[in-house]
């Protein structure tokens, strides 16, 4: 199965559950995420089995810093590498849970997450874009694409 065939209900359910459990804020499918908006913090992970494709999760850098401060309660500074590591963990959790929802008997095959900051410009017309609004108004973007 490729990511284009992944049921939106599965993605929405997994993303909202993972965001609520990891960043302690409710999340709903909604909002409009600006992928070309410049100051983004993002993480990408390849999906190998049972769904094949790539998943990217992104948030505005300022929002990532605020989420990081919320989670660490001021004990750590929201340095760029730490923000990217946080998003890598969230991407890994979402990808693993989505794979498990598709086929609970299969072992989820995932690549290692990568991350970066700035505009996420490597987008194609076939990419599926989703967005989620957190209880505090932050918007999280999720992009699914086929691997070529």
113, 30 Cβ separation under 8 angstroms: no
Judge whether 27 and 134 are in contact, CB under 8 Å: yes
- Predicted confidence at residue 72, as pLDDT, reads 82
Q: Are 24 and 16 in contact (CB under 8 A)?
A: no
Ordered by where they begin, the domains of the chain are 3-145 (3.40.1550.10)
Contact 93, 19 (CB under 8 A): no
pLDDT of residue 130: 92
What pLDDT is recorded for position 148?
A: 63
Q: Per-residue confidence of the chain (148 residues) as pLDDT tens digits?
A: 777 777 888 899 999 999 999 888 899 998 788 888 779 999 999 999 898 999 999 999 999 998 888 888 777 778 889 999 999 999 999 999 999 988 888 888 999 999 998 877 666 777 888 999 999 999 999 999 887 6
Q: Are 21 and 10 in contact (CB under 8 A)?
A: no
- What are 65's two structure tokens? 């810093």
**What tokens does 46 get?**
């390849």
pTM of the model: 0.89
Dist CA 115 CA 119 (whole Å) = 12
Whole-number pLDDT of residue 30: 87
Give kind and range of the element (H or E) at residue 45. strand 40-49
């Amino acid at each position: 199965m490729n990511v284009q065939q992944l049921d939106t209900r599965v993605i929405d359910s997994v993303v909202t559950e993972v965001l609520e459990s990891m960043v302690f804020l409710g999340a709903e499918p909604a909002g409009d995420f600006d992928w070309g908006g410049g100051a983004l913090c993002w993480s990408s992970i390849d999906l190998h089995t049972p769904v094949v494709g790539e998943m990217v999760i992104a948030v505005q850098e300022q929002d990532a810093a605020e989420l990081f401060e919320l989670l660490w309660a001021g004990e750590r500074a929201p340095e760029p590498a730490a923000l990217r590591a946080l998003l890598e963990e969230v991407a890994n959790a979402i990808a693993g849970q989505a794979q498990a929802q598709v086929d609970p008997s299969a072992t989820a095959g995932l690549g290692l997450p990568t991350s970066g900051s700035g505009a996420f410009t490597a987008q194609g017309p076939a990419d599926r874009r989703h967005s989620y609004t957190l209880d505090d108004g932050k918007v999280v973007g999720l992009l699914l694409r086929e691997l070529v």
